[in-house]
Chains A and B, each alone.
Chain A
Amino acid sequence: EVQLVESGGGLVKPGGSLRLSCAASGFTFSSYSMNWVRQAPGKGLEWVSSISSSSSYIYYADSVKGRFTISRDNAKNSLYLQMNSLRAEDTAVYYCARDPGATFGWYFDLWGRGTLVTVSS
């Protein structure tokens, strides 16, 4: 089955760190760009970061630049998001999403179910 499964979310204090993972299965992970998109409770979607299939190109939203790091391990069919210096406004469901381009098509054709990150003291 073609799917993405996120993990690693939870409750963390402001200033803390968390590492999210996304396990891909059912497709050739190394052929696709990958992304993180988040959704704060009751709010809309916000793009967070993108990484090309070979990790040659990486982009971040201004709101997370310098604090978050996206990476991938094609041998393990996995995508990661290292989140540091977390703030209350980072509280959201974080979705892993596939972009059908090896570099970027700038749309997301497969989504995981998401993992909730809560930043609170």
Chain B
Amino acid sequence: QSALTQPASVSGSPGQSITISCTGTSSDVGGYNYVSWYQQHPGKAPKLMIYEVSNRPSGVSNRFSGSKSGNTASLTISGLQAEDEADYYCSSYTSSSTNVVFGGGTKLTVL
């Protein structure tokens, strides 16, 4: 069981917006602004999409945005495109003995 809870799957049609949630505790997501999001296509390495809750690295489309409320962080993808179909993982620093925790991952299907 992963430390952060994500839905196993989400889906949307091209052009629509979807949101993936990532729920933790006050020891991780809720206590620090060290939430990040990664995109992983099959057989590929993960790619950083969002860091420090809502910051986008250079080169990442502005269709990707992040936010946080309490112990839940969210990744929103607007204007869905076929290439967005992938697995998405959230991550957070944690004050527990394991310094970094990941969510279990969410499979995004573009219908």
Residues of B within 8 A of A35 (CB): 100
Number of interface residues of B (CB under 8 A): 27
Distance in angstroms between the alpha carbons of A73 and B63 in the assembled complex:
39
Q: Which of B77-111 contact A (CB under 8 A)?
A: 89, 91-93, 97-105
Question: What's the least CB distance linking B88 to chain A, in Å?
Answer: 11
Counted as pairs of residues, one from A and one from B, with CB atoms less than 8 Å apart, the total is: 65
Distance A80 CA – B78 CA, assembled complex (angstroms): 39
Selected from A59, A62, A109, the residue in CB contact (under 8 A) with B51 is A109
Contacts of A95 in B (CB 8 A): 45-46
Find out whether the CB atom of B45 lies under 8 angstroms from the CB atom of A45.
no
What 1/0 flags go to A77-110 for Cβ under 8 Å of B? 0000000000000000001010000001111110
Question: Contact between B104 and A44 (Cβ–Cβ < 8 Å)?
Answer: yes
B residues near A, CB below 8 A?
2, 32, 34, 36, 38, 40, 44-48, 51-52, 57, 89, 91-93, 97-105
